[in-house]
Amino acid sequence: MAKSDDEILEKLATQDYEYGFVTDIDMEIAKVGLNEDTIRFISGKKEEPEWMLEWRLKGYLSYQKLQMPTWQYFEMPPIDFQGISYYAAPKTKKKFESLDEVDPELLATFAKLGIPLNEQKQLAGVAVDAVFDSVSVATTYKGKLKELGIIFCSMSEAIREHPDLVRKYLGSVVPHTDNIFSALNGAVFSDGSFVYIPKGVRCPMELSTYFRINTENTGQFERTLIIADEGSYVSYLEGCTAPQRDENQLHAAVVEMIALDNAEIKYSTVQNWYPGDKEGKGGIYNFVTKRGACRGVNSKISWTQVETGSAITWKYPSVILQGDNSVGEFYSVAVTKNKQIADTGTKMTHIGRNTRSRIISKGISAGNGQNSYRGLVSLGTKADNSRNFTQCDSLLIGDRCGAHTFPYIESKNPTAKLEHEATTSKIGEDQIFYLNQRGIDTEQAVALIVNGYAREVLDNLPMEFAVEAQKLLSLTLEGSVG
């Protein structure tokens, strides 16, 4: 019959997180602490031009002026910014001419995570940039992409090789002054991915970055910049994991995207950082700023996220709809269990005419998990005939979890059309019994029901990712029902 709660919780804490291992590799780690010297050290390590160092120092200045946010629906844990090391990189050659030169230990790590980097075994149809702690270790399919004029490389390389593009767009969507985490990221970001799709090019494969935190007592601060030039299209995937540790580790990334006239960017995330144990000990603090700007007419930016990891997720992938007829989308599934907290949602800022946005948010709370949807839909005076549709659903599993919804709407335009739908439901005993009665056990039944509930979002993921996400949802909730 039903297993006891303790047994189930035990199972959750010990079995669920498959990626908690540590790679033993020689690392070069910056001295703990944050000051101008730290920033000069990082910039120096990366042999950056002077303008980049200046840009970083401006970020540091903003960071010093900004306060921690106070509006989130959870108690902000104290984060000791001086107790973190801001740079950790495997001690190997700075630049790899080919994959043969990459430390086999690193290749093995990524292989273990299901991300083969070897030429023979590379994922078909997916180009991968693998980031280990502070640096990008490999980018696959670069040659093939280059033929089309597509630039897909690490941010460090982009700063060296494509300074014009970087200078033009970096910080143009998420400025230093946006929030304390984006300011911090600006000051200390160590790597990340850079994508440029030239005019009229439809990127023929999925571009993907896989982030791995390995070293203890470090933070990960990556910066991603994606530019889709006129009439181009790209689909980008992001995955991440981290070892199981007792301390909390900070991940403060910034993603900026720019879509010019008639361009489309689709960004998908499956976030699976270490969530901490059943008592809420350890886990990643995921404080991320993601924003896209639909600068051009008829442009489109779509965010899809499946958030299952991290002790705290604080993340609002947003779209600024500047170009007339531009479209912004946000599809999200966020799962919290044990003592996980997710405060996530989106901002859709309608500026241009006939702009449209669509928000589908599905929160799933189990155990003592707390899940908040926070959304801001704003329509400016010039955003004539603009529309937003928001649907946010919450699913509760058990009676100790919580679901909260904070939808804000600001309309300055009388022609705007806004729709908001929200539901909260408990996973029904009746539904589980129905599936039991057909021979399906309770854990599988919950997985089916949850996947069904999240389907509208999962359907937006690229194929390879959808299967992964489905498995992850089942795994994450394994044992959540007694």
Contacts with other proteins, residue ranges (CB under 8 A): 1-2, 428-431, 433-442, 444, 448-449, 451-456
Shortest gap between Cβ of 91 and other proteins (angstroms)? 48
Q: Which is nearer to other proteins, 68 or 440 (CB)?
A: 440
Query: b/e string for 331-356 if b means 16 or more Cβ within 10 A?
Result: bbbbbbbbbbbbbbbbbbbbbbbbbb
Shortest gap between Cβ of 442 and other proteins (angstroms)? 8
Q: Which is nearer to other proteins, 78 or 439 (CB)?
A: 439
Shortest gap between Cβ of 438 and other proteins (angstroms)? 4
Shortest gap between Cβ of 317 and other proteins (angstroms)? 23
Sequence-distant (6+) residues with CB within 8 A of 433 are none
Q: Which is nearer to other proteins, 140 or 361 (CB)?
A: 361
Q: Which is nearer to other proteins, 284 or 447 (CB)?
A: 447
Shortest gap between Cβ of 87 and other proteins (angstroms)? 44
Strand, coil or helix: what is 332?
strand
Residue 438 exposed, middle or buried by CB count within 10 Å (0-12, 13-18, 19+): exposed
Sequence-distant (6+) residues with CB within 8 A of 395 are 362, 363, 364, 365, 403, 424, 425, 426, 427, 450, 453
Q: Angle at which helices 463-477 and 442-453 pack, to 10 degrees?
A: 130
In this structure, the number of other CB atoms found within 10 A of the CB of residue 186 comes to: 28
Q: By the 8 A CB rule, do 480 and 7 touch?
A: no
Q: Which is nearer to other proteins, 92 or 436 (CB)?
A: 436
In this structure, the number of other CB atoms found within 10 A of the CB of residue 246 comes to: 10
Shortest gap between Cβ of 11 and other proteins (angstroms)? 17
Q: Which is nearer to other proteins, 44 or 428 (CB)?
A: 428
Paired tokens of 335: 């799962």
Q: Which is nearer to other proteins, 115 or 457 (CB)?
A: 457
Shortest gap between Cβ of 90 and other proteins (angstroms)? 43
Sequence-distant (6+) residues with CB within 8 A of 231 are 199, 200, 261, 262, 263
Residue tagged 């300011």 (tokens): 183
Rounded CA gap, 389 and 355, in Å?
A: 12
Shortest gap between Cβ of 439 and other proteins (angstroms)? 4
Q: Is 310 left (phi over 0), alpha (psi -120 to 50) or beta?
A: left
Shortest gap between Cβ of 454 and other proteins (angstroms)? 7
Q: Which is nearer to other proteins, 7 or 279 (CB)?
A: 7
For 184, phi and psi rounded to 5 degrees?
-60, -45
Q: Which is nearer to other proteins, 201 or 481 (CB)?
A: 481
